[in-house]
């Protein structure tokens, strides 16, 4: 996957831009007028609205903590944790804990730690063919995200709507095999998380992550149903065990957990977010 680098708020020299993160070492930019050296932190975020929200955190980080934030944008969930674990990035902000636990276990990323909360981004069920669940016909096709944690999350949401019943609705890694009742004989179609919203032309209903829904112009208000605001799936900021307590990481967390970032998130996601700190 090709990564697109975005640099926040100040121009960096080519040598700095190409330097690796390397453990918990902090890169030094040119000293500002007050003599205090600026630090640089490299952070992975998802492209689209989440990146727009993160840019406000970069602005706060520079203004309050003299911290330059470099963002690497990702278009799917496969690489951000590996990039932090190997030191290519210092931190990322894109996932919730169930996803982190699963991804870390599968890839042996045992050096990743949570350093702060961001927002809950509710899932919703969208459709171009029905306005309410009463219109959902027997045998209809329902698209759900195929990554393990979001698949379970979507299935739990479908159960809350009375569409299916799971063997254990507290299992955050349930799969389609755990459906024990399906009164409408729905065809559950697992699709790549990043393209679930674009499956709406081909299915009767799709459960879509908020950030991907936003990329095709959908908001929670467009949903046939929406995940409760008290969802336990709060997104998190993740770093490594060797840099979690560093000044740069801690200041980035404080910058992200600011009123300005919350306001931008509500703007980008049409109030479809809940502050998680």
In the chain, what are the domains? Answer: 39-122+232-275 (3.40.190.10), 124-226 (3.40.190.10)
- Compute the distance between CA of residue 86 and CA of residue 209 in angstroms, rounded to an integer: 27
Q: What is the DSSP secondary-structure string of the chain? A: ---EEEE-SS---HHHHH----TT--EE----TTSPPPEEEEEEEESSHHHHHHHHHHHHHHHHH-EEEEEEEESSSSSHHHHHHTTS-SEEEEEEHHHHHHHHHHHT-TTEEEEEEEEE---EEE-SS-SSGGGPPTT-EEEEE-SHHHHHHHHHHHHHTTS-EES-TT-TT--GGGEEE-TT--EEEEE-GGGTGGGGGTSSEEEE-HHHHHHTT--GGG-SEE--TT-S-EEEEEEETTTTTSHHHHHHHHHHSSHHHHHHHHHHTTT--EE--
Structure tokens at 169: 């609705």
Tell me the pLDDT of the chain (277 aa) as tens digits: 434 433 333 333 333 333 333 344 333 333 344 556 889 999 999 999 999 999 999 999 999 999 999 999 999 999 999 999 999 999 999 999 989 999 999 999 999 999 999 998 888 999 999 999 999 999 999 999 998 878 999 999 999 999 999 999 989 889 999 999 999 999 999 999 888 888 899 999 999 987 788 888 888 889 999 987 667 789 999 999 999 999 999 999 999 999 999 999 999 987 678 899 9
Whole-model pTM: value is 0.66
151 φ/ψ angles, rounded to the nearest 5 degrees:
-60, -50
Structure tokens at 59: 């602005």
């Amino acid at each position: 996957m090709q990564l697109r680098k975005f640099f926040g708020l100040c121009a960096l020299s080519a040598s700095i831009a190409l330097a690796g993160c390397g453990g918990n070492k902090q890169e030094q930019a040119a000293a500002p007028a007050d003599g205090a050296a600026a630090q640089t932190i490299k952070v992975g975020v998802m492209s689209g609205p989440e990146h727009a929200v993160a840019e406000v955190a970069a602005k706060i980080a520079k203004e309050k903590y003299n911290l330059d934030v470099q963002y690497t944008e990702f278009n799917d969930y496969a690489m951000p944790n590996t990039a932090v674990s190997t030191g290519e990035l210092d931190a990322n902000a894109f996932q919730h804990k169930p996803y982190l636990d699963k991804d870390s276990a599968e890839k042996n990323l045992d050096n990743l730690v949570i350093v702060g909360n961001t927002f809950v981004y509710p899932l919703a069920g969208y459709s171009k063919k029905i306005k309410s669940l009463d219109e959902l016909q027997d045998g209809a096709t329902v698209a759900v995200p195929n990554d393990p944690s979001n698949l379970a999350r979507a299935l739990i949401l479908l159960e809350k709507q009375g569409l299916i019943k799971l063997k254990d609705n507290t299992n955050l890694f349930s799969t389609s095999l755990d459906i024990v009742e399906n009164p409408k004989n729905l065809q559950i179609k697992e699709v790549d998380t990043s393209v679930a919203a674009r499956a709406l032309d081909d299915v009767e209903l799709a459960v879509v992550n908020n950030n991907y829904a936003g990329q095709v112009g959908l908001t929670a208000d467009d949903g046939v149903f929406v995940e409760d605001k008290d969802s336990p799936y709060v997104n998190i900021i993740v770093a490594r065990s060797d840099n979690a307590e560093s000044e740069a990481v801690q200041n980035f967390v404080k910058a992200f957990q600011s009123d300005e970032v919350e306001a931008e998130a509500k703007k980008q996601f049409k109030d479809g977010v809940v502050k998680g700190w």
